[in-house]
Homo-oligomer: A and B are copies of this chain.
């Protein structure tokens, strides 16, 4: 199985499908081809949320503002999965999430020595990054078709466990990483209790839900919180409030989102990706 994800819109993904199908009989499954254009962070977020739901697969993902420059191509092994794409951070959050959730994740330091300082569950232990050497194609603008799709087909045919046998793949000493911003907690100076969490909108989904980096536990069980100065009810489901009303929920990805029942949260809250979301928790 090979999944495909990109910001290519249409019809460029079809050229990748053709290239793959010339090289493999693998089942092809689209993830999405309308990631926010050239927005590596947003795409990395969505890959992290979606790819771990798949059974073992090769995941071809291309959001690549640096196409045609000397940025490397990567193959990342995570459990029984492999991710193929540009060396710009895109693949790492998904790879770590897959490795963390994989029951079969090989974790050599823990398995063999038992002395993993992080307790043996550090997904970094199970994420192996390979550089994939390629010849620059005639055109320097469509590596999805000319570099990454052939690489994904080769990885699929060789098998995720056999990356070491590919002449093009060599363990990468360095690669571009990507981390999502962490929220900060403000505490009561006297008591040390959490008073507020200052977070950020990571992405806005197609429903207009503004998805933040604030963990769901912050709001779960509360009736309401104050978001950027305005009191908003906390609901388990959109229908907790009347149609058109604002609410805060814990989304399907486990983090706080700013929503409107049957409407667009981004518009009602005035929020876009990167905007600050300060959540006051009250007493």
Residues of chain A at the chain B interface (Cβ within 8 Å)? 1, 3, 5, 8-12, 14-15, 17-19, 21-22, 28-35, 37-38, 46, 49-55, 65-69, 138-142, 145-146, 205-207, 236-240, 249-252, 254, 262
Closest CB in chain B relative to A79 CB, distance in Å: 13
Smallest CB-CB A-B distances: 7 pairs: A68-B237, A9-B206, A18-B53, A142-B252, A11-B32, A18-B54, A140-B237
CB-defined A-B contacts under 8 Å, sample of 23: A1-B21, A5-B11, A10-B206, A11-B31, A11-B32, A11-B46, A17-B54, A18-B51, A18-B52, A18-B53, A19-B53, A21-B29, A21-B54, A28-B29, A66-B239, A67-B237, A67-B239, A139-B250, A140-B236, A140-B237, A141-B238, A141-B250, A142-B251
Copies per complex?
Answer: 3
- Of B11, B31, B205, the contact of A14 (CB 8 Å cutoff): B31
Instruction: Assess the A252–B11 pair: CB atoms within 8 A.
Output: no
Chain B: CB-nearest residue to A34: B10
Instruction: Assess the B11–A141 pair: CB atoms within 8 A.
Output: no
Please name 16 further chain A to chain B contacts, defined as beta carbons within 8 Å, in addition to the given A10-B34, A19-B53, A67-B239, sorted by A numbering. A9-B205, A10-B206, A14-B31, A15-B49, A15-B50, A15-B252, A17-B29, A18-B50, A18-B53, A66-B239, A67-B238, A68-B236, A68-B237, A138-B254, A140-B236, A141-B251
Instruction: Assess the A50–B206 pair: CB atoms within 8 A.
Output: no
Closest CB in chain B relative to A222 CB, distance in Å: 15
Instruction: Assess the A53–B22 pair: CB atoms within 8 A.
Output: yes
CA distance A238 to B141 in the complex (A): 7
